Amino acid sequence: MASWNKFVDFLVVGSGAAGMTAAVRAHALGGETLVIEKAPHYGGTTALSGGVVWVPNNPLMKGLGLSDSTEEALQYLEAITKGTSSTERLRSYLETAPRMMKFMRDDTRVEFACLSDYPDYYPETEGGKPGGRSCETVIFDGLQLGDEFLRMHPQPREKLPLGGRVTFGASDGHGLLTGEVSTTWFMLKGLIKYYTNFRARRQGLMNTDLTVGPALIGRLRISLMERGVPLWLSTSLKELITEGDRVVGAVVEKDGEQLRIEARKGVLLAAGGFEGSAEKRHQYQPEPTSEKWTGGTSFNTGDTIDLGVAVGASLDLMDDAWGCPCVVAPYSNRSSAWIMIFEKNMPGGLMVNKSGNRFMNEAAPYDEATKNMYQANTPECPAIPAFFIFDGNYRKKYACGPMLPIPDALLPKNLHDGFYKKDETVEGLARKIGVDPEGLANTVRRYNQFAETGKDEDFGRGESLQDLYYAGKSDLPNPSIGPIAKPPFYAVEIYPGDLGTKGGFRTDAQARVLTAADEPIPGLYAAGNCSAAVMGRSYPGAGATIGPAMTFGFIAAEQALGAGE
């Protein structure tokens, strides 16, 4: 057998939340650990995310007087996953996640704050909660990273407020949307802080006050740096090396050279999904689909999944994703998809198919909304793309993807060339977007009646606490439904986007990769979006991607290092 170029106890493939959490935990348990990342920057899709974790019964809830328990959370998850995930895996997650969060708080630089009023996505379901299970990452000073700040996965500048000069977290965004926080005052304070950050300005850096996903990645990265755990960028996995049925190491390519790395305790695959691969999307995902509809990173192309299959790994949920409606802005780069988290929940907007008819509760959880788009899409009456319709009042108050609430004349020039359509009448707007004018006019008329009564008789919009989270308080009978009556009227095309795919390796409750015969492959673990989601085909709450990613990375490290509890 060829000789080894490097020896470690634990090899981690991928530098997102799953991989870096696992690496920190493995090092804390005494394991010599190496993280490799094929991209030239670290952070993966986590760096592009909201940086929120969904952790039931977490330590922060108790400090706020919020009650929860493993059994309540399990009841909730079993109800919404509907048999698409095992009780054993769900319980493993629920029992370990609070312990993972406590370890992060006590032994690393990772710090979370509880979102006490952010409800689960199905809070009325037995075991659901009106808030507290979702936690956001606390702001982090990126200057602490030194030169490593420049190696973090970059944020698309055109998607950041005021070109990245102002940052805000999940709670800030909620306050701004609901009017609880003054937008003018918030932006002014942010600009003052930006321009008086003289260290960053002298170095020509973007905003170094990191929030959301970059804050989580920054905190994880500095935790690795302080422990001396190496992270190799531009290093791709080429092969998993086995002895018998055990994975004992890997062949990686770094700086054009192939290296054989022995992993004495195990290899963790945490390299993300395949949302960036047009080929794999068309192979596994429902049609239509496009790599231009994702909020994930283009480096997630699923090659790690192929390498796992080559050593006997089995797959599941490859046809599913963490769905979220999106608009596609006319930018030339890969970051053209704008994920629609809150826009569809705000009063004064609705979504229609090619006939001009509504086909769902627009304020439903975004994963459910995307699935509804596919279910409603037929050759006779397409719902992909769908059309988001809103009026002048909505336009003045709220953003819609890249359309900030500023006069149309001040929008970037490329948005005027077909990104949106507008007209002084609903019927005229319908003709411009190729939708049946009478159908759209009737839909708007009926929707406006619901706005008057406060009751959506067709789809129940606003009946769930989740529907109302972003809408905030108002004088409307139903805060989620406002009339579409003030010209001009606008329309943008909506696509079934995603935050990343959720299919991949089948794993057990210990994060061990399984064969088709349900046997664990010794020495091989998986976490994050390259593993089949523990949440099955559901999406229980904000942070239900990153929470499990970190938790099963944590579990994998403990199993590999022999410290599982």
The distance in angstroms from the start CA to the end CA of the chain is 36
What is the per-residue burial (b if ≥16 Cβ within 10 Å, else e) of 236-273?
Answer: bbeebbbeeeebbbbbbbbeeeebbbbbebbbbbbbbb
Residue 330 in any domain: the answer is yes
Task: Say what the pLDDT of residue 103 is.
Answer: 98
Task: Say what the pLDDT of residue 157 is.
Answer: 66
Residue 193 in any domain: the answer is yes
Task: Say what the pLDDT of residue 305 is.
Answer: 97
Task: Say what the pLDDT of residue 412 is.
Answer: 86
Helix residue ranges per DSSP H, 114-251? 170-178, 183-195, 198-202, 212-227
Cis peptide before 548 (omega within 30 of 0): no
What does the pLDDT profile of the chain (565 residues) look like in tens digits? Answer: 579 999 999 999 999 999 999 999 999 999 999 999 999 999 999 999 999 999 999 999 999 999 999 999 999 999 999 999 999 999 999 999 999 999 999 999 999 999 999 999 999 999 999 999 999 999 999 999 999 999 999 877 666 766 778 887 888 888 878 778 788 888 888 888 878 888 878 888 888 899 999 999 999 999 999 999 999 999 999 999 999 999 999 999 999 999 999 999 999 999 999 999 999 999 999 999 999 999 999 999 999 999 999 999 999 999 999 999 999 988 655 557 899 999 999 999 999 999 999 999 999 999 999 999 999 999 999 999 999 999 999 999 999 998 989 999 999 888 887 899 999 999 999 999 999 999 999 999 999 999 999 999 999 999 999 999 998 778 899 999 999 999 999 999 999 999 999 999 999 999 999 999 999 999 999 999 999 999 999 999 999 999 999 999 999 999 999 974 4
Residue 484 in any domain: the answer is yes
Give the range of the structural domain holding residue 195, as residue numbers without chain letter: 161-206
CA atoms within 13 Å, Cβ hemisphere of 437? 8
Task: Say what the pLDDT of residue 158 is.
Answer: 64
- Rounded to whole angstroms, the Cα distance separating 323 from 502 reads 9
Residue 329 in any domain: the answer is yes
- Rounded to whole angstroms, the Cα distance separating 400 from 317 reads 31
Do 331 and 199 lie in a common domain? no
**Pick from 470, 498, 526: which residue ends a domain?**
498
* pLDDT tens for each residue of 133-170: 999 999 999 999 999 999 999 877 666 766 778 887 88
Residue pair 481/456 in contact by the 8 Å Cβ criterion: yes
Q: How many domains does the chain have?
A: 2
Residue 102 in any domain: the answer is no
Residue pair 362/344 in contact by the 8 Å Cβ criterion: yes
Pairing state between β 257-269 and 246-254? antiparallel
- Render 43-108 in DSSP notation, one character per residue: -GGGGGS--EEE-TT-HHHHHTT----HHHHHHHHHHHHTTSS-HHHHHHHHHHHHHHHHHHHHHS
Do 354 and 494 lie in a common domain? yes
Residue pair 221/109 in contact by the 8 Å Cβ criterion: no
Residue 197 in any domain: the answer is yes
Cα 192 off chain centre by: 30
Q: What angle do CA 520, 521, 525 make, to 5 degrees?
A: 90
Q: What is the CATH number of the domain that holds 329?
A: 3.90.700.10
Residue pair 515/313 in contact by the 8 Å Cβ criterion: yes
Residue 338 in any domain: the answer is yes
Cis peptide before 161 (omega within 30 of 0): no
Residue pair 215/109 in contact by the 8 Å Cβ criterion: no
Pairing state between β 33-36 and 231-232? parallel
Residue 34 in any domain: the answer is no
Cis peptide before 385 (omega within 30 of 0): yes
Task: Say what the pLDDT of residue 522 is.
Answer: 98
